[in-house]
A and B are shown apart, each in its own frame.
Chain A
Amino acid sequence: MAQHAFFYNQIRCNGCKTCEMACKDYHDLPAERTYNRVFEYEGTGGWSTDEAGCPVPSGLFAYFVQQSCNHCDDPACTNACPTGACSKDAETGIVSIDPDVCNGSGACIDACPYAAPVMNPETKKATKCDGCVARLKEGQLPICVEACPQRALTCGDASSVPEGYERANVAPLPDPGKTSPNFYVLASKSAQLFDSAQGRVSNLSEVE
C-alpha cells in the first residue's frame, strides 16, 4: 500500500503562508476556515542588562511549523468518527471525509491532535485537507506543494522519506507516537522536540 506523505524542510520555511493561501484559493475557503496552517513558535530566556547598560537577549529562538492533514497511519479522526464518513484510503493512505455520510458530530475535530478537520458552518459537516487527491490522480502536486515559493514543502510516498527528515517530532506538534503522522521534518537548528516546554505558539490568532 502506498502512503501519501508531506516532507517539510523547516530550514527553508520562512512562514510565508503561501501554502495556506493557495489552499484557500483552490478549495475556495473563507477567511475563517482553513485546511492549512503555519504555526510560529518562539522561546526566550529573557533580556538582561550588561554593566554598561546594554540590553542582552538570551535563549531566543523562533521558527515555523506548517501543517495541513498528516494522513496518519493511525488516524484519530477516523477512529473517532461515529458514522464511517472519515476513512483512510487503502490505495493512497489519504484520510478524507465523505460529506454525504458525515453527520456533523464533530467527533473527528475533537479527536485530531493536529486540528486538521474543521467544521463547515454552512453545511454543518466536517471538512479537511484531502491531500488534493484529485490533483494527485492527474499527476499534479497538491496545490500547497506546488505553491511553496521557498520549495520547503514537498511530498511523496512514505517509503521514500528523504535523508535527515524525521517524523513530526518538533514542537508544538503533539507526540507523533499517538497517530503516526505522515509528516516528516528536516528540523531547523532552533527546532525544539515535540515534548519541549521551551517555547510557545506566538501567532495563535492567526491559526485558530
Chain B
Amino acid sequence: MENLKGLAEGGVSRRAFVKAGAGLGAFAALSMAGCATSFHETTPEGEAESSASPKKSGAEEKITWAHCSPNCYGRCALRVVTQDDEVVRVETDNTGDDEFGDHQIRACLRGRSMRRWLNHPDRLKYPMKRVGKRGSGEFERISWEEAIDTIAENYQRVLDQYGPAAVLIAPASGVKAQNISDFLARFCNCLGGYLVQSGGYSMAQARTAVPYLYGDRKNNSTADLANAKLCVMFGDNHAENKLGGAGDCYQIEHALEQGGAKVIVIDPRYTPTAALRADQWIPIRPGTDAALVQGIAHVLITENKVDQEFLDTYCIGYDEKTLPESAPAKSDYKSHILGEGPDGTAKTPEWASAITGIPAQTIVDLAHEIGDSEACFVMQGLGPQRQQNGEQTVRAICMLSVLLGGPGKSGVGTGFMFGADAITGVKVPTGTNPVGVTIPTFMFIDAIEFGTDLTKKNSALKGADRLPQPVKMMFSHGGNSLTNQHGNIGRSHRVLADESLCEFIVVWDTLLTDSAKYADILLPDLMPSEQPSFATGEYCGNMGYVICGTACTEPKFERKSLYQSLALLAEKMGVFDDFTGGLDEMGWLEKMYKSARKEDRELPEWEEMLEKGVYRRLHEKGGSIAYSKWRKDPEKEHLKTPSGKIEVYCEKLAELAETWELPEGDVISPLPIYVPESEWGYADPRRETYPLQMVGFHERGHAHSSFVAIDLLQQANMKRFWINTQDAKERGIEDDDMVQVFNDFGRIQVQAKVTDRIMPGVTAMGQGYWYEEDDKGVDVGACINTLTNSHPSPLAKAIPAHTNLVQVEKVM
C-alpha cells in the first residue's frame, strides 16, 4: 500500500497511469481489500476446518483422478494431489503428448481452484436442522440419527397423506457425475416414485422446440467447422463459457485454424468470443434474432439464393407446394416472409432493422455474404433461446440453415448448437417410477403454489391431464435452483417460506447456498472428488472421453456421500436391499461401467479404466455430420418428425396453438418465425419505466452458482454490471461506480462496468451470484434472478432468463 500512496502523493495514481495506455509502469502489488466472501457463517461451533494451505511436509504424495463438472458444459479431468489425507494441489490431465484428437482433458480456471472449494472454511460439516423461519439460514447441529429419523418420518407422512406424486426431486445441476445424483431417483422409486421435473433451465426452449422442426436436435460435430467458409454465430460465447481444454472453445479454435472460415458474431455484447474470433460483430437487441433471420430470408428468397430443391424434397411448409393439407392457405414460410400471409407484412431488411436495431444495409450485406458463401455454418449458443419467445427464436435460427440446404451437409449443418461425438458412458439404474407424471422444470414453484390447477394444456404436463397433488416435499441434491437459479427469486422466497405449501425440504450441499437456507434438514455432502466418480465429455467435439475417479481423501467431519445417506434412509424405511442391491458406491460404479462396456466394447476393461483415470477416443471419421444418411437417401431414411421431413410448418404445433390455454400475448406458431415476447421484452410498454434490456451470461469465474464462493475466482473475475458508455453517461455513472439495478421484481446493488462493448439500450451481468439481502431489502449479492420473471415461455414453459427490462441508478 505504501507504494500506491507514494504514487498518489506524486499526483499520478497508478490507475490513471495505466488507463492512459502508457504501459504498466511501476505496477506493483496491492493488497486486495474488500474481497471477502459474502456467505454467512452458520456452521455450529466445532472443530476448525483444515487450513486452505497445503501441507509442505515431506509426506508422500498420493494422486487420485477426479473430475470437475458443475454443469458448465465441460467435464474436465482433475488429478488431486494429497499428503496425509489432505488435498495439497489440484492438477489436470497431463497424459499423452497432447496431439489434437488425443488431447488432454485440461481443466479450466474453475477446476484448478478446486482445492479452495474442497478445503473451504465454510463447508458444511454436520447434519443440521432448521431452527429459525424457513429461509432465515438459522440451523442447529444434529446427529445423523436424528436427521435420518426426521426425514423418514416426514417422508412417510407425506406418502401416507398425499402419495408419491407430492414428492419432487428438485432441479439441480451442481453435480454432473453420472454415478451420483441419480441415486436419489432410485431411492424414491423404491418408495413409490416421485413427480418428475424435466427440461432444465439451460436449454429447455431448444430441447422442446427443435424436435418439432427436425424430430430431434442435432448438429454436425464441432470439427466440421473446418469445412466451412463462413461461420455465423448467433449468441454463441464459447470463448467465455466453454473453457475446458477438451471442450468447444479449443475444438472451435482448432477447426478455425484448420479451415480459416470467416466468423461473424451476432450478440448484444462484444463478448470474449466476439473479441477473439469475430471478423465482424453485429450487435442485436436481445430477443430479436428471429426477426434478423426473417430479414435475411427476405433477401435470400427474393434474390433466389435459397436451396429450392432441398426445400421441395426434404421439407414441408416452406412454400405452398409442400404445405400439409390441414394448413390454411398462405400459412407457409415463404408467404409469411414475403408479406403474403395473414399479417400482410413483408419481412424486409428495413422491417427487421426496426426490430433488431441492426441497420438495414448491414442485414442486406449479411444476407449476401451468407447466400453467396460456398459453405456457411450457422450456429447458435443457448442465450437466444433462453427468452420468453425462445422456442420461436431457436427454430428461426435453424431455419436459416434450412434455407441454405444445410441439414445433412458438411460445412453447413442444422443451425443448432454444435454437436458432439460423446461416449454414452454409465447410467444409474434408477428403476421404474410408478407416478409417471412430468412437469416442466421451470413449473416447479407453480406446482407448489398452484398444485392441481396445473394441467397439460396450461402447464405442459406429461403423463396426466392435471397435476394429481401439489408438491408437498422436495429433495434437492447439489442444486441452487430452489431460489437462486430460478426466475423471480422474490416469488420463490415467498412460496418456499410458506410451510403450509411445501411441507418438508431436504437439501444436500457442500456450502450454505441461498437454496440450502430453505432446507428443513440440511445434510453435509461430499464433493464428487471425495467419492468414486464418473463423467463423460458431453460437449466434447469430435473426441469423446470418460473420466473415472476414486475418493481423494477419507470423508472429513460428519460428511457423507448422497449414496451413503440414502442407504441409511433406505434402511430406516425398510427398502435397504432394494436400494443398495448389496453394493457400495464403488461396487455400483463397477457394475454400471461393465454394463456400459457391453454396449461399447472399445472402452477399456474396468481395472484398466480405474488405473488410467481417463480414456479418450477420436470419432472414427474425425467427426459426425447430423442427418447425413437421410440427406443421401430421403426415401429410405426419415427424420423423427411425423412426416419424416423437416417440418417448417408443424401441424403438431398448429394443434397445440389451437388447443392449449395460453395467457394473452403468449404465442405458439406452427412456423419458425419471429414473435415478440409477451412481456418484459423490447416491445413491452414497461420499457417507458424500465428503458434498458438486460441479459445474463455465463462468466468464467463461476458455473451458475457453483464456485461463486471461491475467493480466488472472485478476485480474478470481478462482479460487474455491463452498461454502455452512453447509457452510463445519461445516468452519471462511471466505470466501477456502485449502481442499483431495479424493476418490478426487485433491486440489486453491484459495480458497473462502463464499456462500449455492449449495445446502447442493453445491459448485462453474469448469472449465478449468491443472493444476499441487506436491511433495506436490496440484494447486495447481485443475483440476477432478483430481477427476472417467472412467467414461463409459451411452449416449453421454460425460464425467460434473458427477457428483462431494468432501470439503473448510481448509488450516491
A residues bordering B, Cβ < 8 Å? 11-18, 20-22, 24-26, 28, 30-34, 42, 44, 46-47, 50, 52, 54-57, 60-63, 106, 109-115, 117-119, 121, 143, 146-151, 171-175, 188, 190, 194, 196-206, 208
Contacts and interface: CB of A to CB of B under 8 A. Distances in A.
A62 B253 contact: no
Interface in B24-42: 24-32, 35
Contacts of A117: 29
Interface stretch (B270-278, B451-459, B653-661, B784-792): B270-278
Given A25-B90, A150-B249, A208-B30, A14 B243 contact: yes
B109 A119 contact: no
Interface in B504-529: none
A54 B106 contact: no
Given A14-B276, A21-B712, A175 B23 contact: yes
Given A18-B243, A28-B54, A54-B359, A115 B28 contact: yes
Contacts of B90: 25
A149 B250 contact: yes
Contact of A47 (B32, B700, B724): B724
A57 B98 contact: no
B718 A206 contact: yes
Contacts of B98: 151
Contacts of B671: none
Contacts of B28: 106, 109-110, 115, 118-119
A160 B98 CA distance: 21
A200 B19 contact: yes
A61 B757 CA distance: 8
22 contacts: A14-B273, A16-B108, A28-B53, A33-B29, A42-B275, A42-B757, A47-B756, A52-B360, A55-B283, A60-B281, A62-B270, A109-B26, A114-B27, A115-B27, A149-B249, A150-B245, A172-B21, A174-B24, A200-B18, A201-B19, A202-B755, A204-B15
B25 A174 contact: yes
Interface in B104-150: 106-110, 112-113, 115
A12 B357 contact: no
Nearest to A13: B276
Interface in B203-253: 239-240, 243-245, 247, 249-250, 253
B686 to A, nearest CB: 20
A194 B25 CA distance: 12
Interface in B704-731: 711-718, 724-726
Interface residues of B, number: 78
A150 B12 CA distance: 37
A175 B357 CA distance: 41
Nearest to B272: A14
Given A44-B755, A172-B24, A188-B276, 16 more contacts: A17-B109, A18-B243, A28-B53, A32-B32, A42-B275, A47-B724, A47-B756, A57-B759, A60-B281, A62-B272, A106-B3, A115-B28, A149-B245, A151-B245, A196-B21, A201-B18
A7 to B, nearest CB: 15
B760 interface: yes
A148 B31 contact: no
Contacts of B725: 44, 46-47
B358 interface: yes
Contacts of A46: 725, 756
B21 A200 contact: yes
B761 interface: yes
B94 interface: yes
A18 B19 contact: no
Contact of B712 (A31, A194, A197): A31
B244 A149 contact: yes
Nearest to A38: B716
Contacts of B24: 113-115, 172-174
A84 B642 CA distance: 79
Contacts of B275: 42, 61-63, 190
Contacts of B92: 22, 146-147
B386 interface: no
A174 B21 CA distance: 9
A103 B214 CA distance: 70
A206 B716 contact: yes
Contact of A172 (B18, B240, B247, B283): B18
Contacts of A110: 3, 26, 28
Contact of A22 (B112, B239, B360, B713): B112
A28 to B, nearest CB: 6
A33 B28 CA distance: 11
B469 interface: no
Contact of B357 (A33, A55, A106, A190): A55
B357 A113 contact: no
A109 B717 CA distance: 24
Given A52-B353, A150-B253, A197 B108 contact: no
B35 A32 contact: yes
B358 A54 contact: yes
A31 B53 CA distance: 12
A174 B23 contact: yes
Nearest to A44: B756
B718 A205 contact: yes
A80 to B, nearest CB: 11
Nearest to B244: A149
Nearest to B32: A32
A203 B272 CA distance: 13
